[in-house]
Structure 1
Amino acid sequence: MPGHEPRLLIYSQDGLGLGHMRRTSLLAGEFLSTLPGSSALTISDSPLGRFFPTAPGHDYLKLPSIRKSGPGVWESVTLSSTFHDVLAMRSSIIATAVEAFDPHVLLVDHMPHGAMGELLPALRKIRRNPVKIILGLRDILDAPEVIKRTWVNEGAIAAVDEFYDEVIIYGSRDVLDVATEYEWPMPVAERLSYSGYVCAPTSQNRRPLPSRHTKRAEGDKLVLAMAGGGADAYPMFSSVLSAASHRSLRSGVRFLMVTGPFMPTADRLHLQSMARGLPVTLVKTVDESPAYMSAADLVIAMAGYNTTVELLKTGTPALLVPRNGPSAEQRTRAKLFAGRGWVNWLDPHELDQDRMAGAIVASLDAPNASLSGRPGPDLRGRQASVQRILDMLGERSPFAELQAVPT
């Protein structure tokens, strides 16, 4: 093992979203709090850099940003260089950082071989060292036929088989059996464990929420609409604004809309224009989004992993509007969670005023998820994932009772 303080290196190809960044930040923070004096370094390409608060001992290495514009098609976000040149630069930076940081654990988020195979040189190099290589995956990736095809064709399955010691699934097998659903071969399936869903710890030092965002008359209900990064959330928000003027919602309901940092400026300005004269407050971002979820009577959100599990933790009634493609991930999550009575959901093809207004009214009248009497989700994924990492290193931890559940 390396002769220095415990070190965790995280690779995350985050693109233009917030989900992967949020999840990896939570896991790094848990690792650092469990092993005081340790270090965590995240290699990511998010244009926002340190968007979320970070723990002492955690730092970021920013890669030139790229994005996927189609199946197997990538492009540079900012640099004018060719994608080939940008990819070569990213791969070199990653390999150099892996060698220099000399981690005890490499935790790879979502893409086992990296974007277009950029992680493979680093994996080949680090595999010669006494280091544990772990793949962390949310449970729902895409439609099974898509994952079965792309993970074989792009070399992802081969990379897991060759390089990885373990695959931690940030979810529950009883919600979705990853190995069965995606038909992974036995050598890969045998490395899976399930941690439960990863969500943030409850803050002990929450500041009062700004009254300008949450002000309402006595008896009024507050509907919070949010969408993570917000890059493709305009259809959902415009539908909510249309519903806000519906006869069934003209009184007794106020709306707070958090558009997200990645919503195009033109879309945000148009939503602001639509909101004039309505009981709507529209903001770009908020601190402590779980606190706003808890304060609301209903949360309307897209069905991204992090937003959804944070909602489940609060128990606030939720209406999910999954992304309308190209991936089936959000639609699948919304349907599976709704089938367990955890949320309500609305098909993204049914966002006309009447359907949205009807869904809001029905969801406001729905019982709190925590009071429904149905079995709730396992939300201990943050602790259990880090416990599993420490178990592989032979380290002791105060979370010994939160073992990941093997397949």
Structure 2
Amino acid sequence: MNKKRWLFYAVNGLGLGHLTRLMGLAHQLRQRSPESQFLFLTSSEAESLLWQEGFASVKVPSQAACRRSGLNYSTYVCLLHTVVTNAISAFRPHVLIVDTFPAGSAQELLPVLRWEGRRVFIYREQKSAVCGEKWFQDLLAMYDLILVPHTKGEVELPVPPHVPVEWAGPMLLRSQMEALDPKQARSRLQLPLEGQLLYVGFGGGGDPEYEQLLAWVLAQAECLPQWQFVCARPPLGNISAVAANLSNAPNVQQISYYPLAECWGAFDAAIAAAGYNTAAELLHNGIPTIWVPLPRQVDDQVCRAQRIAESQAGWMVNPYDSETLRATLLQLNDASVRSRVAAKAKQIVTGNGAAYAADYLLSWIRS
């Protein structure tokens, strides 16, 4: 009964959100149903992370890779549709789980949404101008179940009336219970065991402004010698140029590690983009964070950062607003302020919705 074939579909993005959410869910399903088969079908350019997490995958080119290699769009679409259709046909999944884009990035999923098998859509918060459109709602109607990776009431999402909806809560790759303690995390990341560490990051690295944003924040390092600024090398980006320019700054350091969800305890505070996964992880681990919302086509980072700030669980600073950034960084010097903000953050994301979603899916598929 439990020997099911699960196929997870994730398109490439500016970050790792689609892939990370699905890996978190697959991780929990595998713990509960180790006899099942799991396959990822993805255009993410970070597919090596699937191998690292122990999952098999079929990789198709991303639109970004095709543009860089000179493939025209019609060739890309033909290739994408052919590979996706053949891969799903060969694997014959009992359950197809799709994140954020119900038809894929170029409508490549439309044919298979009519095939035999159960279809589950991970419905992350999206801008109303996108998810409220009739074509989007018609696509959702082709699914058998909608899983919402938010706490019920946190966001408003339109859904077709006849499709079952389950609110799972924020889905994490690792919960705090699976993470390292602060000392272990600092050792794992080869960071100083003493002193105040400030994480600086802006997603998975696909944003063309990543280096510029990082340079903007690290320009404040000289004025705050009491903080060690730690920037991660993102899987989808290359910040070596910025790191080289700041190599002489004594309180700037670069790390390379995935998944950081295991090591958030190393940091006393953070400056980060307000993407879904980063927000969920930092809030869950109680890291006082300055949120810098970035413009996205689908994800409303401004709305998310505003909700967090209104809950006094962090601060919101607009990109390149240096004056507000400096003033907010000074607040982080107060340990009592950090402690108060950390407690508020933990109240927003109390558990791992991926665990709840896995339990629900296994019960649902048996029924």
With the shorter chain as reference, the TM-score category is: 0.7 to 0.9
2:182 aligned with 1:191, yes or no?
A: no
- RMSD of the alignment, in Å? 2.7
Change (3 A) 1:255 1:30: same
Deviation at 1:17, TM superposition (A): 2.3
Percent identical: 22
Q: Structure 1: which 5+ residue stretches go unaligned?
A: 68-74, 396-407
Deviates more, 1:196-205 or 1:365-374: 365-374
Change (3 A) 1:123 1:146: closer
Q: TM-score, normalised by structure 2?
A: 0.88
2:328 counterpart (359, 362, 386) = 359
Q: How does 1:1-400 map to 2 (within 5 A)?
A: 5-52=3-50, 58-67=55-64, 76-124=66-114, 126=115, 129=116, 131-138=117-124, 140-142=125-127, 144-148=128-132, 151-152=133-134, 155-161=135-141, 163-179=142-158, 184-187=159-162, 190-199=163-172, 200-201=174-175, 202-203=177-178, 209-210=186-187, 213-215=190-192, 220-232=195-207, 233-246=210-223, 249=224, 251-264=225-238, 268-283=240-255, 285-327=256-298, 329-350=300-321, 352=322, 354-365=323-334, 366-368=337-339, 369-372=341-344, 375-394=347-366
Aligned-partner SS, 1:11? strand
CA distance in 2, matches of 1:383, 1:211: 26
Q: Structure 2: which 5+ residue stretches go unaligned?
A: none
Residues 5-31 of structure 1, C-alpha deviations (whole Å, 9 max, x = no match): 311111111234211111111111111
Change (3 A) 1:254 1:262: same
Contact 1:324 1:349 in 2 (8 A): no
Q: TM-score, normalised by structure 1?
A: 0.80
Change (3 A) 1:9 1:373: closer
CA distance in 1, matches of 2:161, 2:96: 23
Contact 1:44 1:61 in 2 (8 A): yes
Deviation at 1:79, TM superposition (A): 4.3
CA distance in 1, matches of 2:112, 2:53: 26
Residues 196-223 of structure 1, C-alpha deviations (whole Å, 9 max, x = no match): 001113337786534884226x5x3211
Change (3 A) 1:15 1:370: closer
Aligned-partner SS, 2:7? strand
User: Which residue pairs with 1:398 in the alignment?
Assistant: none
The residue type equivalent to 1:122 in the other structure is V
CA distance in 1, matches of 2:45, 2:168: 29
Change (3 A) 1:24 1:373: closer
Aligned length: 358
The residue type equivalent to 2:204 in the other structure is G
Contact 2:230 2:252 in 1 (8 A): yes
Aligned-partner SS, 1:117? coil
